[in-house]
Amino acid sequence: MHLLRRFFGSLRIGGPSGADQRWAVHHLLPAEADLWVRLSDVDRSHAITVARRVVDRLGEAERPLVAAALLHDIGKLTS
């Protein structure tokens, strides 16, 4: 089911909204943000969805945990 949602989500044009991008960058250190912006639009949108779920489930999650959620697919940059 996860991969099916990812596939149909990948058909969407454009990346995360400006507000979502600002929210994400707020939780990242400068070097982390430099990597995150290199992800595809689809991967950045997915990362925000995952990170927001983490925050929703845990309440105010600590910055490193939100950053880990935002960067969980960062290995795709080298694959």
pLDDT tens figures, 36-72: 999 999 999 999 999 999 999 998 889 999 999 999 9
* Residue 48 CB neighbours (<10 A): 21
12 CB contacts (<8 Å, ≥6 apart)?
42, 45
11 against 28, higher pLDDT: 28
Q: How high is the pLDDT of residue 36?
A: 97
d(CA 18, CA 22): 6
Half-sphere exposure of 61 (CA within 13 A, CB side): 18
**Rounded mean pLDDT of 25-31?**
97
- Residue holding tokens 């707020």? 26
pTM (whole model) above 0.85? no
